[in-house]
Amino acid sequence: MQMSRPRPLISLNLEAPIRSNNSSDDHEIPRKTWLQYLPLAFLVFLMLLPHPSFLIILVNHYIRTLHKPVVFIVHLLITYAITFLAFSSLIVCVARDPGPVSSQKSDADAGSEDGEMGLTEALMSGVGDDDMSPSKWCRKCWAPRPDRAHHCSICDRCVLKMDHHCPWLGSKCVGHRTYPAFLHFIFSVTALATYIGTVSGFAFWFSINNPFSIDAVTPIHELFMTFAGVAISLVMGSFLVYHMYLVSTNQTTLESMSPFVLLRHLPPLPASLRLSEPPLEHELSYNQRKLVKSAHKSVRLYDVGWKQNWAQVFGWKKPWGWVHRVFNGGGGKGDGRTFLRNPKADDMLSRLAMELAKVDKDI
């Protein structure tokens, strides 16, 4: 009688596939529903909404009243040129991948044809010890996570230099490959709203001083477009100024609003603190959290001067590379994985780690 082979208590399947961040499998990345595109459709509707009223203002004010067809054509060309720029960058933000955290080319060759690889191949295909550290490993994607990359819980993937998740762009993230186009878009929308509001305001002022030279309906359009232009300019302009500040200091929205991102970059803390490596926010005491929030105001890990910061976002290598920047903003410079570090950041992080180790002992 042949005895069956005993089964092990624990079985490790080293060939189990790791989920790929760049996979297009429907089981990997959830398919979007039509409801997620409603904000994008509403955004396009808002961008087109002012044009009928503004055309009425231009025709009645500059052609029928002032008899200046050349000025009418100039305003028309400027308006639709800015509108074209806004839509071109919007298309880039919606159509382009914000930044896939995928393996290098050599890693893809070592894997299977569908982009997946086993655990053995992943450990032997160029993933260094530094990439395997907890601070550079995504526990949800189960894959290496480069610097400044974050996992989006809505998109269920990691994004290179993720800035934020935007429902207005078809429920997509703004990342390394779309952030310049996003800045171009909010700048174009702000410029369009400011231009329409300014032209409508001057036309409304003329209608008040010359009430019998124009019909009774056009001033209503002028008043509405003036207030709409001013309101949108203030809202989008504030958003634009904030992102200009982020570019000047080389921060993303997540890095600016999440002080505990600094915990990823701290040097090893004493084992007596009994914290994870890297420390997690909920593990810190009240005083330690307060210390991290205070340090976040001064520790800017990637700030290398405002000129280099802007060049990192909008820089180009080719002689005529600035052309597509004007039309749609383009994509980020570099590979989105490695970034210049602030030379003072390491010393500041070391001091922060020392303070975290002794802040509760001093009480």
- For the chain, the helix, strand and coil percentages under 3-state DSSP, each to the nearest 5: 55, 5, 40
Beta strands in the chain (DSSP E): 137-138, 143-144, 150-152, 157-159, 164-166, 172-174
pLDDT at 121: 38
Angle at 19 between CA 155 and CA 25, to 5 degrees: 65
Q: How far apart are CA 324 and CA 136, in angstroms?
A: 33
CA distances from residue 171 to 47, 102, 119, 345 in whole angstroms, order as listed: 18, 21, 32, 34
- Of the pLDDT bands very low, low, confident and very high (cuts 50, 70, 90), residue 95 is very high
- Of the pLDDT bands very low, low, confident and very high (cuts 50, 70, 90), residue 108 is very low
- Of the pLDDT bands very low, low, confident and very high (cuts 50, 70, 90), residue 237 is very high
pLDDT at 165: 95
pLDDT at 363: 56
- Of the pLDDT bands very low, low, confident and very high (cuts 50, 70, 90), residue 243 is very high
Handedness of CA 59, 65, 67, 68 (dihedral sign): negative
pLDDT at 89: 96
Residue 105, C-beta contacts closer than 8 angstroms, at least 6 positions apart: none
Q: What pTM, to 2 d.p., does this model score?
A: 0.82
Q: How far apart are CA 321 and CA 332, in angstroms?
A: 12
The b/e string for 25-62 (b: 16+ C-beta within 10 A; e otherwise) is eeebbeeeeeeeeeebeebeeebeebeebbebbbebbb
Query: Is pLDDT of 115 > 60?
Result: no
The b/e string for 132-153 (b: 16+ C-beta within 10 A; e otherwise) is eeeebebeebebbbbbbbbbbe
Query: Is pLDDT of 70 > 70?
Result: yes
Q: How far apart are CA 226 and CA 202, in angstroms?
A: 9
Q: What average pLDDT does the segment 171-182 reach?
A: 95
- The amino acid present at 70, given as its one-letter code, is V
- Of the pLDDT bands very low, low, confident and very high (cuts 50, 70, 90), residue 134 is low
pLDDT at 362: 59
Lowest mean pLDDT among 67-81, 96-110, 318-332: 96-110
Lowest mean pLDDT among 82-86, 131-135, 324-328: 131-135
The b/e string for 305-321 (b: 16+ C-beta within 10 A; e otherwise) is eeeebeebbbbeeeeee
Q: pLDDT digit string (tens) for 16-37? A: 444 444 443 333 556 778 888 9
pLDDT at 209: 94
Q: pLDDT digit string (tens) for 215-234? A: 999 999 999 999 999 999 99
Tokens of 12: 């490790």
Percent share of the chain, pLDDT over 90: 58
Most confident by average pLDDT, 34-38, 82-86, 98-102, 310-314: 82-86
Tokens of 51: 């044009």
pLDDT at 271: 83
Q: How far apart are CA 124 and CA 130, in angstroms?
A: 14
pLDDT at 193: 97
Q: What average pLDDT does the segment 284-300 reach?
A: 91
- How many CA atoms, within 13 angstroms, populate the side-chain half-sphere of residue 43? 20
Query: Is pLDDT of 11 > 50?
Result: no
Residue with structure tokens 């997620």?
A: 36
Q: pLDDT digit string (tens) for 335-352? A: 999 999 999 999 999 999
Q: What average pLDDT does the segment 1-29 reach?
A: 44
Q: How far apart are CA 264 and CA 96, in angstroms?
A: 29
DSSP state of 118: B
Angle at 268 between CA 262 and CA 272, to 5 degrees: 115
The DSSP result for 39-103, as a single string, is HHHHHHHHHHTHHHHHHHHHIIIIIIIS--HHHHHHHHHHHHHHHHHHHHHHHHHHHS-S-B---
Tokens of 74: 């100039």
- Cβ distance 125 to 115 under 8 Å? no
